[in-house]
């Protein structure tokens, strides 16, 4: 599998979700708990060999459920 590069800096607009790919362990909790289906798991892996969560839709309502359930605190949601 190809190794995922550093996540690009995303403008911090309301509803922007930023995921630290290096910290993500691929548990999929954020994908499961996102009520808007904004997140999905990537087909690429990070440096530790884990698939990471990525933003696949631009419909985030900034509810922060993904950030609350992340055990590694690698998700930031901007309001």
| pLDDT of residue 5 exceeding 70 | no
Asked whether residue 9 is domain-assigned, the answer is: no
Query: Residue 72 belongs to a domain with what CATH number?
Result: 3.30.70.20
DSSP notation for the chain: -PBP-PPPP----TT-EEE-TTT-----HHHHH-TT--EEEEEEE-TTS-EEEEE--S------HHHHH-TT--EEE--
Predicted pLDDT at 15: 75
pLDDT in tens, 35-57: 999 999 999 999 999 999 999 99
Asked whether residue 56 is domain-assigned, the answer is: yes
The number of domains in the chain is 1
Of 6 and 58, the structure prediction assigns the larger pLDDT to 58
């Amino acid at each position: 599998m190809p190794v995922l590069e550093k996540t690009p800096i995303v403008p911090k607009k309301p509803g922007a979700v930023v995921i630290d790919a290096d910290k993500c362990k691929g548990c999929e909790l954020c994908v499961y708990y996102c009520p808007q289906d904004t997140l999905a798991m990537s087909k690429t892996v990070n440096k530790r060999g884990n698939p990471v969560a990525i933003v696949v839709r631009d419909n985030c309502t900034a509810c922060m459920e993904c950030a609350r359930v992340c055990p590694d605190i690698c998700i930031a949601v901007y309001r």
